[in-house]
Amino acid sequence: MSTSALQIRGASFSAWLGRVFSERRAKYYFVVPTLLYLLLIGIFPLIFSFGLSFLNWDVAAQRPMSFAALANYAELMGDDRFWRTLLNTMIFAVVAVTLEIVFGFGLALLLNREIRGQTVFRVLLVLPMMATPVAVGYIWRMLYHVTNGPINHILRVLHLPMGTWLSDGSTSLMSVIITDIWQWTPFAFIILLAGLQSLPREPFEAAKVDGASSLQSLYYLTLPMIRPILSIVFLLRMVEAIKIFDIIYVMTAGGPGISTETSTMYAKLVSLTQFRLGYGAAIAYVLLILSIIVFIILTRVLPTEVEME
């Protein structure tokens, strides 16, 4: 091959490279991997499971899958256990998240001032949030142990009636709610504390000059100004609480009876114990739709901007 031929080839390769990596095209090369990742990891399972929800795929029956049309959804409408678990989920989410915000806000107000050992308090308060839910579940299961647990031991020492906690259907849901509050109040605390510290000082100083009490400042200034952050915390925690699984699975496995079984646990039971994959997918989809509805309602109802009279 002659030198000139090589030069021509080299020039055309450079031109090809230039075309391939032109500024106009280069941006796609950065975006495409992310898009592929989203399609494969995020979108594909959603589409696949949506399709699955219209199939009858019962692995235990050792029969091939068949088209079920809307049969899975129709069955779900009449499935009392699903509705009961949904009720449990809603009670759990609303009570736990509300109390987490109340306690988290109280703690944030308490520590939003110059006090000695402030850093230590803050670190100690966020520790529960750092623990894995499975470990938290086991810890609280031991704490609640009726005969050997420290909670009942303290009650016994104080001559108070001992609780049956997880072993009684009337107290078990509240017991797991307390555990969730213990773990996730720090989340509300840390976000709300950051919110409080970002509030402007001038309105509070003006209110003080005008003779407003602390309670009046809290009600007329702090709450309206912090409301958007409260909304965000409520929203984020609600979305998480509706999906609760791990803590309850470890503590009660949904029992006694069905008293602590949540919808995600039921979906897991149907899909991965009974191996009714089509019906399990239908449950998962109904849960997803309900979560989206809750999310939309909350974003409409809850304020996202500061509203002051």
Partner 1 sequence: MLKKASLFMTIMFGLSLVLAACAAPAPVTVRETVEVPGPERTVIVEVTPAPEAKMCDGVTVVAVTQPGPYIAGPLFDHADEWTELTGGQVEVLEVPYGDLYTQIMTSFTTGVHAYDILVVGATWLPDFTPYLVPLDDYIADPDTDPDWEDVLPAFREIIAKWEGKYYALTLDGDTHSLFYRRHLFEDATNQANFKAQYGYDLQVPETMDQLRDVAEFFTGWDWSGDGQDDYGWAQPMARGEQAHWWFWDFVAPYCVIPPGPEGPDQYRGQLYFDPETMEPLVNEPCMLKGLELYKEMTAFGPPGMEAWNVGEIRSGFPGTGNIAMTIEWGTFPGMCEDPAMADPTAIGDCGTAPRPGSLEVWDRENQTWLTLDEPNTAPLLNFGGWVGAVTQTSENPDCAYDFIKFLNSPEISAQDVVIGDTGFNVYRYSHVRDLTIWVDAWGAVAEQDAREYLDAVRADLENPNVLIDLRIPGKPEYIDSVLDLHVSSAIAGEEDLTEALQTTYDEWEEITERLGREDQKAFYRAMMGMD
Beta bridge partners of 58: 276
Q: How many CA atoms lie within 13 A of 254 on its CB side?
A: 17
Contact pick of 53, 185, 259, 262 for partner 1 (by CB under 8 A): 259
The single-letter code of the amino acid at 221 is L
In the numeric block, the tokens 């075309």 are attached to: 19
Beta bridge partners of 66: 56
Q: How far apart are CA 192 and CA 61, in angstroms?
A: 52
Cβ atoms of residues 241 and 97 within 8 Å: yes
272 binding partner 1? (CB under 8 A): yes
258 binding partner 1? (CB under 8 A): yes
Q: Which of 240, 242, 238, 244 minimizes the C-alpha distance to 97?
A: 238
Contact pick of 274, 288, 292, 296 for partner 1 (by CB under 8 A): 274
Cβ atoms of residues 280 and 266 within 8 Å: no
Q: How far apart are CA 249 and CA 9, in angstroms?
A: 66
Stretch that binds partner 1, among 52-60, 95-103, 281-289, 294-302 (CB under 8 A): 52-60
Contact pick of 269, 282, 286, 287 for partner 1 (by CB under 8 A): 269
Contact pick of 256, 290, 294, 298 for partner 1 (by CB under 8 A): 256
Structure tokens, 96: 């736990």
Separation of CA 203 from chain center: 34
147 binding partner 1? (CB under 8 A): yes
CA–CA–CA angle 214, 218, 222 (5° rounding):
135
77 binding partner 1? (CB under 8 A): no
Cβ atoms of residues 233 and 192 within 8 Å: yes
263 binding partner 1? (CB under 8 A): no
* Residue 7 burial by Cβ neighbours in a 10 Å radius (0-12, 13-18, 19+): exposed
Stretch that binds partner 1, among 6-14, 163-171, 181-189, 207-215 (CB under 8 A): 163-171
205 binding partner 1? (CB under 8 A): no
Instruction: Tell me the closest approach of the beta carbon of residue 255 to partner 1, in angstroms.
Output: 3
253 binding partner 1? (CB under 8 A): yes
Contact pick of 73, 91, 99, 167 for partner 1 (by CB under 8 A): 167
288 binding partner 1? (CB under 8 A): no
Scanning residues 176 to 195, which ones bind partner 1 (CB under 8 A)? none
Q: Rounding to the nearest 10 degrees, give the CA dihedral for residues 276, 278, 281, 287.
A: -90
164 binding partner 1? (CB under 8 A): yes
Q: Count of residues binding partner 1 (CB under 8 A)?
A: 29
66 binding partner 1? (CB under 8 A): no
4 binding partner 1? (CB under 8 A): no
Stretch that binds partner 1, among 13-21, 57-65, 116-124, 201-209 (CB under 8 A): 57-65
Stretch that binds partner 1, among 119-127, 140-148, 190-198, 235-243 (CB under 8 A): 140-148
Residues near partner 1 (CB under 8 A): 58-63, 145-147, 162, 164-169, 252-259, 269, 272-275
